[in-house]
């Protein structure tokens, strides 16, 4: 199904052209414009009046709206209405359901013939149940409030149908599933309960369990789902549903027992495997479970349906699903400055310890009137010097200033980084895939982005980041530039590749936000390629050990972030895991500030 080709015409203009074509006897031309009007205003009475005129002179008009491989959605809806008018409402309803699957938020079915009680009397209840299940499969669960009105006509059809056939178990269950999705939980419970009484079945108990769960009745939900297992002990998806319900209510040990039962029956059943890894990660926080899930997904591309366990586990977690806010004194000054706090706009700031060069540059751009005096007495290793010799130089220091040591990136590189850079991602493999758009950038461009981050894009996200904390946007650019490095010359063997050599240089360069970005790229490489995991785990352990040692002599602003990165590293030595927890100061907690920015921007949780 396709969208309208000519979106420039309004519904009124389409109707005017359709009427002119009708007056001229050009029925196919008129049909095209009626379809265009329907696509934009599917419930407008004038559109349906014009469609009726077309049907009257066009032998019913059905054949004027043929179905083909790329049928236009307006033509599909027009055909549906004409089929209903021709006495074939079941076929018409099938087409409206297909249109709803194509664009669930559009009120395709908001017409009298769909909600008329007599339609339910004419149609076979099994056919109605299948249509309701088709609608349920096409919409989110639950449907956001903004999208529920468009499904109201289908709920009216369900009401009419269960009135006519009050003891049809399949119909009652499908109606319950639709009601539950659009927030009618009590109605969903009543219908599902009647369905189970009329016709006990596994599917009916599953629908009842879901309805109780949506209504907040956990005990009743678990009882129904357990009865579903008794109906069919081989349906392992129900085991996963029970486990998920138990876990959502803090009963993790019971949940894992159910998953273990499922895996005993089929160790490769995708729903059980996904749920098992998610729950085990929730129990102990060991990233090995999520890495194993990543491997399973890669090795089983033909799962029964799309799963969200990996993304749910990584959501809002440092580096697994989002970058961490920067640490250090200057970041606090930057945040104060953008909020117009007078204390942040003093004339002179004296540092007691060197700060990352990226922080200095970000402060200079955000608060140009502020003079920064560098620390003169630096205990321990100087953070302005690379931690290993021979690494490439991104920055040039001179007195109290720092400047990029490499040229700025091209305009094309700036355009592309603005398209992909974001502070959140579903999980590391998804971030790797999203960075493929940077694959054709040259190495100088990718390095130039690290030290010459462009202004944020003129989007809602860009405005929020710039107004709340400019350092977040700079870190976004650096993270995605390093992810772009992972796609540089991928034909080269990892051990001797340019991409590895450059990232290692950045990892052991001066203490900077680019250190964190480089390590995240290396960690991401380990997630997507099992063969590089030992190498990345070794590098992570060495860099973390170095940070811990330096941290005994002076503060290391990037220490906490590197510790979180270590916890995200596959196959990291257990001793280094404990070192990471020590640097963090305990079990990792989800940072809230970035999550609040994202929710303010999108109205939904960070993904």
Q: What is the C-alpha to C-alpha distance for residues 429 and 421, in angstroms, rounded to an integer? A: 15
The domain 11-230 is classified under which CATH number: 1.10.1060.10, 1.25.40.10, 3.90.420.10, 3.90.1150.10? 1.25.40.10
Comparison of pLDDT for 576 and 328, the residue scoring more: 576
For the chain, which residues make up each domain, given as ranges? 11-230, 233-314, 329-402, 411-584
Q: What is the C-alpha to C-alpha distance for residues 241 and 409, in angstroms, rounded to an integer? A: 50
Q: pLDDT band at residue 405, thresholds of 50, 70 and 90?
A: very high
Q: pLDDT band at residue 96, thresholds of 50, 70 and 90?
A: very high
Q: Tens digit of pLDDT for each residue in 210-245? A: 999 999 999 999 999 999 999 999 999 999 999 999
pLDDT of residue 607: 42
Query: Does the model's pTM come out above 0.85?
Result: no
pLDDT of residue 340: 63
Distances from the Cα of 395 to the Cα of 24, 285, 287, angstroms: 73, 37, 34
Backbone torsions φ then ψ of 243, nearest 5 degrees: -60, -45
Comparison of pLDDT for 287 and 585, the residue scoring more: 287
- What average pLDDT does the segment 325-332 reach? 87
8 pLDDT exceeds 70? no
Backbone torsions φ then ψ of 489, nearest 5 degrees: 50, 60
Which one, of 335, 341, 334, 384, lies nearest residue 364 by Cα?
334
Q: Tens digit of pLDDT for each residue in 29-49? A: 999 999 999 999 999 999 999
pLDDT of residue 605: 47
260 pLDDT exceeds 70? yes
The architecture that CATH gives domain 233-314 is Alpha Horseshoe (1.25)
Q: What is the C-alpha to C-alpha distance for residues 447 and 503, in angstroms, rounded to an integer? A: 10
586 pLDDT exceeds 60? yes
User: Lowest mean pLDDT: which of 50-64, 109-123, 287-301?
Assistant: 50-64
Q: What is the C-alpha to C-alpha distance for residues 369 and 363, in angstroms, rounded to an integer? A: 10
Q: What is the C-alpha to C-alpha distance for residues 600 and 605, in angstroms, rounded to an integer? A: 9
Q: Is 460 exposed, middle or buried (0-12, 13-18, 19+ CB in 10 A)?
A: exposed
335 pLDDT exceeds 90? no
pLDDT of residue 174: 98
pLDDT of residue 372: 81
389 pLDDT exceeds 50? yes
pLDDT above 70 covers what percent of the chain? 93
- What average pLDDT does the segment 291-295 reach? 97
Q: Tens digit of pLDDT for each residue in 100-115? A: 999 999 999 999 999 9
SS3 92: helix
Beta strand extents in 272-430 (DSSP E only): 348-350, 371-373, 395-398, 401-404
- What average pLDDT does the segment 6-20 reach? 84
- Same CATH topology for 11-230 and 233-314: the answer is yes
25 pLDDT exceeds 60? yes
Q: What is the C-alpha to C-alpha distance for residues 90 and 104, in angstroms, rounded to an integer? A: 20
Residue the block writes with tokens 């178990």: 169
525 pLDDT exceeds 60? yes
Q: pLDDT band at residue 464, thresholds of 50, 70 and 90?
A: confident
- Listing DSSP states for 193-242 in one string gives HHHHHHS--HHHHHHHHHHHHHTT-HHHHHHHHHHHHHH-TT-HHHHHHH
pLDDT of residue 546: 97
pLDDT above 90 covers what percent of the chain? 79
- What average pLDDT does the segment 300-309 reach? 82
Q: What is the C-alpha to C-alpha distance for residues 508 and 394, in angstroms, rounded to an integer? A: 12
pLDDT of residue 1: 65
447 pLDDT exceeds 50? yes
599 pLDDT exceeds 70? no
Across the chain, what does the average pLDDT equal? 91
Q: Tens digit of pLDDT for each residue in 535-568? A: 999 999 999 999 999 999 988 999 999 999 999 9
Q: What is the C-alpha to C-alpha distance for residues 450 and 413, in angstroms, rounded to an integer? A: 11
pLDDT of residue 366: 85
Q: pLDDT band at residue 602, thresholds of 50, 70 and 90?
A: very low
């Amino acid at each position: 199904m396709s969208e309208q080709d000519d979106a420039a015409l309004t519904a009124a203009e389409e109707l005017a052209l359709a009427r002119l074509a009708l007056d001229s006897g050009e029925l196919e031309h008129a049909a095209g414009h009626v379809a265009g009007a329907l696509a934009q205003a599917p419930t407008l009475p004038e559109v349906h009046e014009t469609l009726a005129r077309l049907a009257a002179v066009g032998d019913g008009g059905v054949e004027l709206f043929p179905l083909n491989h790329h049928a236009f959605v307006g033509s599909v809806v027009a055909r549906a209405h004409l089929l209903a008018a021709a006495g074939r409402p079941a076929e018409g309803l099938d087409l409206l359901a297909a249109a709803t699957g194509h664009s669930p938020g559009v009120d395709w079915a908001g017409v009298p013939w769909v909600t008329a009680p007599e339609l339910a009397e004419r149609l076979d209840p099994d056919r109605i149940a299948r249509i309701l299940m088709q609608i349920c499969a096409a919409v989110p669960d639950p449907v956001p409030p903004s999208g529920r009105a468009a499904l109201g006509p289908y709920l009216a059809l369900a009401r009419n149908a269960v009135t006519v056939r009050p003891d049809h178990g399949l119909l009652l269950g499908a109606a319950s599933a639709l009601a539950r999705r659009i927030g009618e939980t009590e109605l969903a419970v009543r219908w599902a309960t009647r369905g189970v009484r009329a016709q006990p079945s596994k599917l009916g108990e599953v629908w009842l369990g879901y309805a109780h769960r949506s209504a907040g009745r956990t005990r009743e939900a678990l009882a129904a789902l357990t009865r579903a297992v008794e109906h069919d002990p081989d349906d392992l998806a129900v085991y996963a549903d029970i486990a998920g319900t138990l876990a959502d209510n803090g009963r993790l040990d019971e949940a894992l027992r159910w998953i273990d039962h499922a895996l005993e029956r089929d160790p490769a059943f995708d729903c059980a495997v996904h749920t098992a890894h998610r729950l085990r990660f929730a129990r102990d926080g060991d990233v090995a479970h999520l890495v194993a899930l990543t491997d399973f997904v890669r090795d089983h591309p033909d799962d029964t349906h799309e799963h969200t366990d990996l993304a749910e586990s990584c959501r809002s977690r440092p580096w697994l699903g989002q970058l961490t806010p920067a640490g250090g004194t200057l970041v606090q000054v930057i945040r104060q400055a953008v909020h117009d706090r007078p204390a942040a706009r003093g004339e002179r700031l004296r540092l007691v310890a060197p700060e990352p060069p990226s922080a200095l540059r970000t402060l200079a751009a955000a608060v140009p009137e502020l003079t920064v005096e560098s620390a003169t007495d630096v205990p321990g290793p100087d953070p302005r010097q690379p931690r290993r010799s021979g690494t490439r130089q991104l920055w040039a220091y001179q007195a109290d200033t720092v400047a990029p040591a490499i040229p700025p990136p091209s305009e094309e590189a700036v355009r592309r980084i603005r398209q992909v850079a974001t502070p959140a991602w579903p999980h590391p493999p998804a971030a790797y895939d999203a960075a493929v758009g940077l694959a054709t950038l040259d190495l100088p461009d990718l390095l130039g982005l690290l030290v010459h981050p462009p202004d944020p894009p003129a989007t809602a996200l860009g405005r929020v980041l710039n107004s709340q904390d400019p350092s977040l946007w700079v870190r976004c650019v650096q993270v995605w530039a390093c992810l772009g490095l992972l796609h540089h010359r991928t034909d080269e063997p990892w051990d001797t590749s340019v991409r590895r050599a450059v990232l290692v240089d950045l990892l052991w360069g001066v203490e900077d936000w680019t250190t964190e970005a480089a390590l995240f790229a290396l960690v991401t490489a380990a997630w997507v390629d099992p063969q590089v995991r030992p190498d990345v785990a070794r590098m992570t352990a060495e860099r973390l050990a170095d940070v811990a040692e330096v941290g005994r002599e002076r503060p290391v602003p990037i220490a906490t972030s590197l510790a979180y990165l270590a916890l995200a590293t596959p196959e990291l030595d257990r001793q280094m895991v404990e070192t990471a927890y020590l640097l963090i100061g305990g079990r990792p907690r989800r940072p809230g500030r970035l999550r609040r920015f994202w929710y303010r921007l999108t109205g939904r949780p960070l993904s």
